[in-house]
Structure 1
Amino acid sequence: MSYNALYTDLSGYYDLMCADIDYQGQSSSAHRLHQIFGNSGKQHLDLACGTGPHIAHLIQHGFHSQGLDINQPMLEIAQQRCPEAQFAQGNMCAFQTDQKFDLITCFLYSIHYSGSIEELIGCIKSAHQALQSGGVFYFNVVDKNHINNELFAKHSVSQGADLFQFSSAWHYIGEGEKQTLNVRIDKTCDQQTLTWEDAHPMVALDFEQLKTLLTPYFEVHVFEHNYEQITPWQQASGNAIFVCTKA
């Protein structure tokens, strides 16, 4: 099953798969860093918005939010969750808009869905074009040189009589610009288990490469992957938050 088909078929389970994510903390982090490095505007666009939970929290911070995602079933759920927001189906690597935004976010490592360096450059250019002067492009990212193929993130959650077990792991072969996010979902009901497995194609790069791509368009700030504190990246960890300000 392709990764698009997986998400289409399981869009109704997506929030369960992400049940352990601190959406409020992540959204508050983006808000704080926008206050420090951005302008005072409140026009917000969330790339790869999924079912819209980050948008729901940023609306509470006073933002006027829009969401962009390639998956229409996700957008339908997002619209139900956030009826005051606007949503559009589209490719984050090649979007154009007449409206200008003050904050563009891309949470949950979704920037890697660009798939290739060329497509990632398209995403960077699109975000730059869509931002107001002083606007911020905020996202989190993983450095390919720090990926441990043996590490899995796992959690379980119940829905009615069903037990879901979710696991995901990065995998990088050690060279090139391709990596995968391997996802497994087990659904158990009445002692029977259904399993979905998939490998999502992702772009692989290191932080120095990424800063080189961003610098022609943005003033780049890199922080430790900590949503509770604002700490400059210490060049040791493989996860970071990038805050990119348009001049």
Structure 2
Amino acid sequence: MDPIQTGNQYNVIAHVWDEQQKDSSYGIESLMRAIEYCNQFDYQRKIALDIGCGSGGRMMRLLVQHEFGIVGLDISESMVTLAKQKHPEYIFHHADICTWQTQEQFQCIIAWDSIFHVPYDQQEQVLIKLCSMLVKDGILLFTCGDDIGYHLSEWQDMSFYYSSLGINRTLEILMQNNCDIRHVELDQFPQKHTVIIAKKY
């Protein structure tokens, strides 16, 4: 599925999604773990790239509380609009991580429940890109599937595309691109949702 189509789907549900996520703590424990890893290092500045930032809710609020500057990116224009309204002081991009380019590097990159929408044949390219965008000792937090391939899943009366390289191949790519693995967790077992934290060396 073309990522633009995924973005259009999220445009349709952006306000409903924002309302549903308002009081959620989903993912906060994992993000706190990533922040604690970041706190071990004396960065000259702390900038977090939030890929699939959505409407700028709980994850972004926690990053701000821990004094990170924010760069947000989302494939959904409606989500980016909502995020800008909540956090006008930060930079947001309506863009596709598959094609988005930047010269900036980040102390923290999070991609919570976002890059599993990336087309299967672009998963490796995106993981390599994320590794390249980390500073030395930068921390990467993302979620993926414990499966290989792609599928469609019904949600909000629409078919959303998901893909994954599987845990083993995903970890191989990270290690081949100068990242040490710090945490791997099937946090919704027996479902295949997987949380990974890695550190650039």
TM-score, normalised to structure 2, is 0.83
- Take 1:177 and 1:198, find their aligned partners in 2: how far apart are those partners? 20
Match of 2:145 among 139, 142, 147: 142
Shift of 1:211: 1.1
Shift of 1:80: 0.8
Shift of 1:13: 1.5
- Take 1:39 and 1:102, find their aligned partners in 2: how far apart are those partners? 10
Match of 2:84 among 72, 75, 79: 79
Q: Quick check: 2:51–2:74 contact (8 Å CA) kept in 1?
A: yes
- Take 1:17 and 1:3, find their aligned partners in 2: how far apart are those partners? 19
Q: Quick check: 2:139–2:200 contact (8 Å CA) kept in 1?
A: yes
Secondary structure of 2:160's counterpart equals strand
Secondary structure of 1:98's counterpart equals coil
Distance 1:84 1:112, change over 3 A: same
1:208 aligns with 2:168: yes
Corresponding residue of 2:72: 67
Secondary structure of 2:176's counterpart equals coil
- Take 1:236 and 1:211, find their aligned partners in 2: how far apart are those partners? 20
Q: Quick check: 1:177–1:203 contact (8 Å CA) kept in 2?
A: yes
Q: Quick check: 2:34–2:140 contact (8 Å CA) kept in 1?
A: no
Greater fraction strand: 1
Long gaps (5+) in structure 1: 145-175, 185-196, 227-234
Distance 1:90 1:5, change over 3 A: closer
Tell me the C-alpha RMSD between the 2 structures: 2.4
Match of 1:181 among 121, 143, 153: 153
User: 2:183 is matched by which residue type in structure 1?
Assistant: V
Following superposition of structure 1 onto structure 2, how do residues 42-57 of structure 1 map, counting pairs within 5 Å?
42-53=46-57, 54-57=59-62
Distance 1:212 1:223, change over 3 A: closer
Alpha-carbon displacement from aligned partner over 1:10-63 (angstroms, at most 9, x marks no partner): 222221233463155454233123335x66341110001111112222011010
1:92 aligns with 2:97: yes
Corresponding residue of 1:219: 180
Corresponding residue of 2:129: 126
Greater fraction helix: 2
- Take 1:5 and 1:84, find their aligned partners in 2: how far apart are those partners? 26
- Take 1:48 and 1:119, find their aligned partners in 2: how far apart are those partners? 16
- Take 1:129 and 1:95, find their aligned partners in 2: how far apart are those partners? 13
The percent identity for this pair of structures is: 21
- Take 1:142 and 1:57, find their aligned partners in 2: how far apart are those partners? 24
Between the two proteins, the alignment pairs up a number of residues equal to 192
Corresponding residue of 1:14: 17
Task: From the CA coordinates, give the structure whose radius of gyration is larger.
Answer: 1
Alpha-carbon displacement from aligned partner over 1:82-118 (angstroms, at most 9, x marks no partner): 12211011111232212221100011x21201121x3
Alpha-carbon displacement from aligned partner over 1:152-185 (angstroms, at most 9, x marks no partner): xxxxxxxxxxxxxxxxxxxxxxxx611233203x
- Take 1:216 and 1:210, find their aligned partners in 2: how far apart are those partners? 10
TM-score, normalised to structure 1, is 0.69
- Take 2:62 and 2:137, find their aligned partners in 1: how far apart are those partners? 22
Secondary structure of 2:54's counterpart equals coil
Shift of 1:213: 2.2
